[in-house]
Amino acid sequence: MNLTSLVSSLIVSGSLGYLNYNILTKLDIVDFYKDNKDDKRYFVIMLGGINYLLYLVIASFIPHAQQGSYLAIAITMLLVLLISVVLDFTVFHCLKSLLIG
Q: Rounded to whole angstroms, how far apart are CA atoms 21 and 68?
A: 28
Say if CB 16 and CB 48 are below 8 A apart: yes
What's this model's pTM, rounded to 2 decimal places?
0.82
pLDDT in tens, 4-20: 777 877 888 788 889 99
Domain boundaries, the chain: 3-100
Q: What is the DSSP letter of 23?
A: H
pLDDT in tens, 65-95: 777 788 888 888 899 999 999 998 998 878 8
